[in-house]
Amino acid sequence: MTSQTSRPIFVIGCPRSGTTLLQQMLHSHPRIAFPSETRFVHTSYEVRHTFGDLELEENRRKLAEWIAKGRDTKFHVLKLDAEDIIEEIVHGPPTLGSALAIIFRAYAREHGKPRWGDKRPSYFRRMPMLRRMFPDAQFIHLVRDGRDAVSSLKKMPWYHGDTYSAALTWREAVDTGKRLRERLGPDTFYEFHYEDLVAQPEDALKPLCEFLGEEYDPAMTKAYEHARKTVPSARKWHLRTHEAPNTRNVGAWRDRLEDWEADLVEHVLASRLVDHGYTLSGVSRPSAAHLATFHRLAAHRWRSRHAHAVLDRLVQTRDPNPVVSLLDGPVPVDGTSDEG
């Protein structure tokens, strides 16, 4: 077993790939605190210039109040004292990454744990941001059969895309995962499959814990006990986290997708499905019209990503401060000292 570490942990993946289940499992580990989606990491990064030079105390206070009291974040899900966090950020290091780390470390401290993580499926699109702020972080990519991910995503009340965009999102996620696996290496990036996680949770979680440098704990397979307390019943799309892991929805795409959707999704994702060990069903070739629509959307998204990357590099040149977190070491728990 690798010696224990305090590196931040981020979970990424295509939406509807089981990342909420994994988040609950990781939070059930005795050393790891993993909150529900907070949505203030990427939003604060995008508006960071609004707060000016963070060397100035009044600017750190503006940033802290925006995160802890603003309407554009979900800070409240952490159930932390906003005023206490604001003061910690004001008296902390003058970087955005440090401010965010202070919040997650406080959450971990409240749960008596020395290590923190965060999850948001769309983080796969924001890896440069995360790497800038948390260069020592570890990343977990959870992959689900693209056909099941697409069929599930289309059912979500909060999803406003269509079959084409859902399939493209899965393709972008696994392509990003492939690049990250090659660039970051086995000490920083870990990828595994949703189907393995729900079929044999213990067998899937043990190597994951080894990657994280943590001892496996059986409580992780009983994360539903925690989910029943923390995942509201109103979020019906997450109610399966209230159950013990099971394979009931593996392969559900066969009943959920219309014939033309199944033809399209399997065709455009075929090579990537095979690369990830999924078996093709041999559906019919999609129509030329459906393929043309998919490829037009793919070209549009590629142009948009490229333009955003160019703009982001330009914006970085105007950063008044470094964004990297200057806090490290384990979260001080039970009277231990802060090594940051």
Give tens-digit pLDDT for 149-177.
999 999 888 888 999 999 999 999 999 99
- The residue-averaged pLDDT of 109-114 equals 96
What pLDDT sits at residue 3?
A: 52
Q: Return the minimum-mean-pLDDT range out of 54-63, 69-78, 239-248, 268-277.
A: 239-248
| Per-residue tokens: 223 | 């994360």
When pLDDT is cut at 50, 70 and 90, the band that residue 335 belongs to is: very low
When pLDDT is cut at 50, 70 and 90, the band that residue 2 belongs to is: very low
Q: Which comes out higher in pLDDT, residue 144 or 70?
A: 144
- The residue-averaged pLDDT of 313-330 equals 94
- Give the separation between CA 200 and CA 245, rounded to whole angstroms: 8
What pLDDT sits at residue 242?
A: 64
pLDDT at 337 > cutoff 50:
no
When pLDDT is cut at 50, 70 and 90, the band that residue 237 belongs to is: very low
| Per-residue tokens: 308 | 């955003």
Helices (H), 16-141: 19-27, 41-46, 57-69, 82-90, 96-110, 127-133
pLDDT at 304 > cutoff 80:
yes
What pLDDT sits at residue 223?
A: 81
Residue 12 host element (H or E): strand 9-12
What pLDDT sits at residue 33?
A: 96
- Classify residue 316 as exposed, middle or buried by CB count within 10 Å of its CB (0-12, 13-18, 19+): exposed
Instruction: Match 């990342």 to its residue by tokens.
Output: 19
Nearest to 126 by CA among 204, 180, 71: 180
- The residue-averaged pLDDT of 115-133 equals 95
Residue 259 host element (H or E): helix 259-275
- The residue-averaged pLDDT of 289-300 equals 97
Q: Which comes out higher in pLDDT, residue 106 or 242?
A: 106
Q: Are 78 and 103 within 8 A, CB to CB?
A: yes
Handedness of CA 68, 70, 75, 77 (dihedral sign): positive
Residue 288 host element (H or E): helix 288-316
Helices (H), 37-95: 41-46, 57-69, 82-90
When pLDDT is cut at 50, 70 and 90, the band that residue 231 belongs to is: low
What pLDDT sits at residue 325?
A: 97
| Per-residue tokens: 235 | 């979020």
What pLDDT sits at residue 233?
A: 56
Percent of the chain with pLDDT over 90: 80
When pLDDT is cut at 50, 70 and 90, the band that residue 226 belongs to is: low
Average pLDDT, the chain: 91
Instruction: Match 């392969």 to its residue by tokens.
Output: 251
pLDDT tens for 244-256 read: 788 889 999 999 9
